[in-house]
Amino acid sequence: MIQFLELELTNFAIYPKASFKFATDPERPLTVIRGENESGKTTLVRAFLWVLFGSKGIQEATDNAYALRPVWVKADESVTTKVKLSFRQMKSGKTVAFNLVRTLTSKDAKNARLSDDKVVLARQEAGGAFKPMSEAAVETLHTIIRPEMRDFYFIDADKAVDFVGGSEANHSDQLMRSMIGKSIRALLSLDTLRSASERVQDQRNQFVRDIAALNRGAMGTNQQQALINVESEIEKLKKQIPTAKAAFTNADETHRLSDEQFSTMIKELEMASKRAVDGKKFRDNRDRLNVRRRQLVHQLAEYAPGAALAAAILSPTLKAIIDRLEPMKEKGHIPPHELEVIPRLIKRGVCLCGTEISEGSPAADKLTAILLEARKTESGARFLDGVLNLATRHKLFGAKAVRNDPITAIKKELADLDPEIGELSAAITEVEKTAAAEGGKQAEASEMKRDIGEKLAQRDTFRDALIRLQNELEKLETERRSHQESIRLAAGRSDKVKVLQASERAADLVKSVVQAAYERVESDQVADVSKSMTNLFSTIVGQTEDGLISEVGLRTTGPASNLPEYELFARYQNADKPLKLINGASRRALSVAFVLALAEQTGTRVPLVTDSLLHSTSGEVRKRLVDFLAKGKRIGQPIMFGTRADFQSPEVRTVLDQFAGATYTLTAQSHVGADVVRADPNREQSNQVSICNCSPRQYCAICERTGDASTTDLSSKSRGS
Amino acid sequence: MDISFLTARQHDLRLPKAIKDKALASFVSNQPIGPHRPSDDAPFRRMYDFWFASILWAEYKDLSPVNGAATEKFVSAGPTTSDAKLEDWMLELLLLIAVHRLKFDVNTLPDPTQVFKLANELAAVGAPSLIEALGNCLDLMEPQLYTTVALFREAASA
């Protein structure tokens, strides 16, 4: 159960700052707020609605929050409007206090938006401080004080006739049924049962759909056959794979061995290449030695029949020539000196010995004879002189050659060279022999490389074939798993169908139970409300069986299978009396009776705020209404708004004196004049409402100006204080 | 001394046929037809080297020239380009041998024909002796050139 504790308003419409504390004393449960028309009662109800429901509580067509802005604030002035509702919740013997604060800051009248509001729900902690709760808490609050039920919680008597179908002139059974149905379904928890029934029905329908879907996915015989086919293919492949694997393994091993042999051969060829380098060195050395040897051989060959040896060999011959010719030379026969000397002597005419040589002299004749004789052998003498010179030169040359004897040195060098050249040649021969063998290996290596390439290609072919088989196997196994899964799922679906069918049956059963409960609750509670309404109507209106309305109540209408509708009824002489024929006062009484009966029957958990409930009711009816609200403890916290006239009768005042725990009087300038309102020390503007705690029997210096202060039963407060 | 008169005209150089063939086969490196033979095995570069060596060998052995021996020309020495050009020292020594053997004096000038005739006769008698000497000195372990040089060196030192 929720009890309002206090409502604080700041800059709300005509309220600059106001605070209303509500009665919570079980012995004096009534809160009475008195005020003439246009004094701020409905505005106060609007403050309740706004703080509780925000924009949903303000029935405005637009988002404009103009109605909330203080009337004294200029249109272009920024202002913050704030309403704070303090309440407490009592549940399971535990009481928790809450503050619900809603604020709205508007920069100007034009841009005042209801949706710009901010709301905070705070919960009182153990130490007394209030701690803000999450936004979700406000939603939770709305499950208790439901926005759509605001017209029920906050009854405006002028609007309450909607429960009966509206005003007499514009009666609508549809409006009546809508309003009645909404309230009943919410407050009697029929909605809960109905929605439970609907949920069960929905769930049952879902079961049916699921069963249909599962049946659609049921396994066909062809899937089983497909599985058999796939398994057959798998068996075939499994038989092929070992052969393919063996072929690949063999090819791989063959390739590996060939590769190893090839590597060995390559190493050997590398060694051969190294040896070839050595061989080249040998050949170079040998070539160099051979060049030298050729030079030596050529030198030696020169001596075979050469000039020096020839001269030496002919040494005896040459000696003989020299021996023969030298005496001739010594004698002056060679060369023929006479041929040079005698002509000169003859020309001079004197011999070397001093003998005169003149022509015709014997000396001259003798010399001439010598000269003639010499001229005969001149060529021979000159030739032999040349021969002597030649023989002498060759003899000397030959002798020198023998002495120097270069042949021995040449032969020695040749003798040293020859073995070295022989060794090099042998080494070269060996290298060349190896090279020749390795040349064969080179060819063999090329052949082997080509063979390895073929083996590799063959291995790759086997490998590809194996991979293809393995891929095919994997694909088939996946297909097999898919078939198996499908079959398994189908089997599972079969099981699930059974479960769902059982669930469907259970849902049917639950639905019938809920439906029965619903019907029972509906039947019982509607009957109770109806009975209570008749009692209240009789009590409030004082109607009798002999009156124009003998019975009122609530009943269902429409088929039970659909959402039932509810309607109020009135009977006269065991016959229905159309509601549209019921006059204004009775309509109001009927609507109030419905509301109060429903509140009483359901033990409403929230306060009941009534505005102008006593309007247009006679004095006795008013007393009974007030009496019911004050004493009827089966409804929530009653907060009554009314005019001075509503509370004027002595009987009502007597009840209020006894049961009103909190009283307030609202006074506006329209009733007492702006100057009077301004006289209120708490007021700054003339268009602000003035609030006092005067009870319906009391008047203060402000509210007394409303015109009723002259009555004799005024309290001392108004006059004296 | 100018000895060009000796080759002012062509003179045949001759050897007995069998000797010439044997010399060509065994002792001459420059073959008129066929490949060049190694000096080691063929100690005489040209055929007239063998011919001259034969004259030297005959002179060394003091052999008497053979008159009228059956010989065969193997080349001619002379002024034309196709003639063999004997070195001057060879011609000089041939002339000296002729002077020695033919006893030229101031009254008898040498006739080139006589010089080459004597040379061919000495060669004809010296060549077989030389081949025989080489054959006697043959050491299978030593090249023929070395043997020849050793033989002539021995002759020169004698």
| Closest chain B residue to the Cα of A295, Cα to Cα | B39
B1 vs A298, A307, A390: nearest CB: A390
Q: Does A412 touch chain B (CB under 8 A)?
A: no
Residues A71 and A670 sit within 8 Å (Cβ to Cβ) = no
Residues A626 and A652 sit within 8 Å (Cβ to Cβ) = yes
Q: Does B40 touch chain A (CB under 8 A)?
A: yes
More confident residue, A333 or A219: A333
Residue ending a domain, among A517, A543, A575, is: A517
A309 vs B90, B99, B152: nearest CB: B152
Q: Quick one: A278 and A419 in the same domain?
A: yes
- If you count residue pairs, one on A and one on B, with CB atoms under 8 Å apart, how many are there? 121
pLDDT for residue A720 = 35
Q: Is B31 helix (H, G, I), strand (E, B) or coil?
A: coil
User: In whole angstroms, what separates CA A52 from the centre of its chain?
Assistant: 40
Residue type, A578: P
Domain assignment present for residue A628? The answer is: no
Q: For chain B, percent helix, then strand, then coil, each to nearest 5? A: 55, 10, 40
Residue ending a domain, among A486, A517, A548, is: A517
Q: What is the DSSP string of A260-298?
A: HHHHHHHHHHHHHHHHHHHHHHHHHHHHHHHHHHHHHHH
The rounded radius of gyration (Å) of the Cα atoms in chain B is 16
B93 vs A379, A394, A402: nearest CB: A394
Residues 6+ apart with CB under 8 A from A617: A585, A588, A589, A625
Q: What is the DSSP string of A362-397?
A: HHHHHHHHHHHHHHHTHHHHHHHHHHHHHHHHHHHH
With a pLDDT cut of 90, the percent of chain A lying above it is 12
> Quick check: A300 and B56 CB within 8 A?
no
* B interface test, pick of A290, A291, A293, A300 with most B CB neighbours within 10 Å: A300
pLDDT of A290 strictly over 70 = yes
Pairs from A564-569 (Cβ < 8 Å, separation ≥ 24): A564/A181, A564/A522, A565/A177, A565/A181, A566/A177, A566/A180, A566/A181, A566/A184, A566/A185, A566/A526, A567/A173, A567/A176, A567/A177, A567/A180, A568/A163, A568/A164, A568/A176, A568/A180, A568/A533, A568/A594
Total structural domains within chain A = 3
Q: Quick one: A77 and A129 in the same domain?
A: yes
pLDDT for residue A712 = 42
pLDDT for residue A61 = 58
Per-residue pLDDT of B82-118, as tens digits, reads 999 999 999 999 999 999 998 877 777 788 999 999 9
- Lowest-confidence range among A338-342, A474-478, A483-487, B2-6? A338-342
Per-residue pLDDT of A583-635, as tens digits, reads 777 777 788 778 777 777 665 567 888 887 777 677 777 777 788 777 765 56
pLDDT for residue A590 = 80
Domain assignment present for residue A174? The answer is: no
* Enclosing domain of residue A116: 1-20+34-145+663-721
> Quick check: A301 and B43 CB within 8 A?
yes
Q: Quick one: A431 and A475 in the same domain?
A: yes
pLDDT for residue B59 = 94
pLDDT of A714 strictly over 70 = no
More confident residue, A710 or A583: A583
Residues of B in contact with A387 (CB under 8 A): 1, 95-96, 99, 104
Residue ending a domain, among A517, A547, A578, is: A517
Q: Between vectors from CA A685 to CA A684 and to CA A686, what angle results, nearest 5°? A: 130
pLDDT for residue A716 = 46
B156 vs A297, A313, A384: nearest CB: A313
- Gap between the Cα atoms of A528 and A551, Å rounded: 14
Q: Does A536 touch chain B (CB under 8 A)?
A: no
- Gap between the Cα atoms of A538 and A559, Å rounded: 30
A380 vs B40, B107, B157: nearest CB: B107
Tell me how many helices (H) and strands (E) chain B has. 5, 2
Domain assignment present for residue A80? The answer is: yes
Per-residue pLDDT of B7-36, as tens digits, reads 999 999 999 999 999 998 888 988 877 778
- Gap between the Cα atoms of A618 and A638, Å rounded: 20
What CATH number is associated with residue A245?
A: 1.10.287.2610
pLDDT for residue A192 = 67
A317 vs B40, B97, B150: nearest CB: B97
Q: Quick one: A369 and A415 in the same domain?
A: no
To the nearest whole Å, the CA of B73 is away from the closest chain A CA by: 20
Tell which residue, B56, B142, B95, B101, has the closest CA to residue A310: B56
Give the ipTM of the model, two decimals please.
0.95
Question: Where are the domains positioned within chain B?
Answer: 4-157
Per-residue pLDDT of A531-545, as tens digits, reads 888 877 777 766 555
What CATH number is associated with residue A125?
A: 3.40.50.300
> Quick check: A387 and B95 CB within 8 A?
yes
To the nearest whole Å, the CA of B94 is away from the closest chain A CA by: 10
Q: What residues form DSSP beta bridges with A690? A: A667
pLDDT for residue B78 = 93
Residues of A in contact with B43 (CB under 8 A): 301, 304
pLDDT of A24 strictly over 80 = yes
Per-residue pLDDT of A81-134, as tens digits, reads 999 999 998 877 888 899 999 999 988 888 788 888 899 999 998 888 998 888
* B interface test, pick of A293, A313, A334, A385 with most B CB neighbours within 10 Å: A313
Q: What residues form DSSP beta bridges with A449? A: none
Q: Does B60 touch chain A (CB under 8 A)?
A: yes
B52 vs A298, A305, A387: nearest CB: A305
> A6: which DSSP letter?
E
> Quick check: A307 and B100 CB within 8 A?
no
Q: Does B4 touch chain A (CB under 8 A)?
A: no
Mean pLDDT for chain A overall: 81
| Closest chain A residue to the Cα of B97, Cα to Cα | A317
Q: Quick one: A137 and A227 in the same domain?
A: no
Q: Does B140 touch chain A (CB under 8 A)?
A: no
Per-residue pLDDT of A58-92, as tens digits, reads 766 577 777 788 888 888 889 999 999 999 988 77
Q: Does B157 touch chain A (CB under 8 A)?
A: yes
To the nearest whole Å, the CA of B80 is away from the closest chain A CA by: 24
Domain assignment present for residue A577? The answer is: no
Note the pTM of the prediction, 2 decimals. 0.47
To the nearest whole Å, the CA of A361 is away from the closest chain B CA by: 30
